[in-house]
Amino acid sequence: MINLKDQVGKRAVDFIEDGMIVGLGTGSTVYYLVEALAEKIKEEGISIQCVTTSIRTKEHAESLGIKISDLDEVPYIDLTIDGADEVDPDFNGIKGGGAAHLYEKIVASNSKRNIWIVDESKMVDQLGAFPLPVEVVKYGSGKLFNKLEKEGLNPSWRLDDEGNKLLTDDNNYVIDLNLGTITNIGPLASKLNAYTGIIEHGLFIGITDMVIVGYLDGPKVLTID
């Protein structure tokens, strides 16, 4: 069976060049990117520096000998490659299925260029079927949950494998908004930004202009005209 995630991970490293500072995202697709990048470094002898968006990506990359730096230690990021949970025709996306969207957005916003790598199931006509995550501070999070519920945003707590409220790398909670469809991406993002207690939401708007999509007949590099 063709592994579409492995396929796009290997295609994405073609855009990484010697001397670059590269942002590495988080998630199951990025796992294969990191594996492919380690192989590229070994085979081609290139020298790169990386910044990661989660502890698990950092540990994975370092285990393969990839040099990792703190975001504040690098002058800039040339390119960040990350996955996405949904991508619409305008390359807006929902991210945060791995509860790393805060760090992912920070790294993406400090990158000269962003590429998303996904399999074809992540390409949608309209965002919203995938729950929209919001990272929230613990203090007063129950009150915030109630406000989101009253607004009709259908919130649910993100839980870990033990049934406890999941903690992000920054030790915050995640509330998922089960919206079904999102017809007002910009206004919704502004609305969520205005809530006290929400640190970051998973709507990524106008951040990337390239998506590498895995199809059964091979990966395709899509760009916005």
Nearest 5°: phi and psi at 116?
A: -105, 140
Q: Is the dihedral of CA 45, 51, 53, 59 positive or negative?
A: positive
Q: What is the pLDDT of residue 224?
A: 83
Going by C-alpha positions, the residue among 81, 73, 76, 107 that lies closest to residue 211 is 81
Q: Which two tokens stand for residue 53?
A: 């968006």
* pLDDT tens digit at each of 225 positions of the chain: 678 999 999 999 999 999 999 999 999 999 999 999 999 999 999 999 999 999 999 999 999 999 999 999 999 999 999 999 999 999 999 999 999 999 999 999 999 999 999 999 999 999 999 999 999 999 999 999 999 999 999 999 999 999 999 999 999 999 999 999 998 999 999 999 999 999 999 999 999 989 999 999 999 999 987
Domains of the chain: 4-122+205-223 (3.40.50.1360), 132-201 (3.30.70.260)
Greatest pairwise CA separation for the chain in angstroms: 56
CB-based contacts of 3, cutoff 8 Å, min separation 6: 32
Output the pTM of the full model.
0.95
Give the ranges where 69-209 is alpha helix by DSSP (H): 101-109, 141-150, 185-193
104 labelled catalytic: yes
What amino acid occupies position 157? W
Exactly one of 39, 43, 44, 104 is catalytic; name it.
104
Q: What is the pLDDT of residue 1?
A: 67
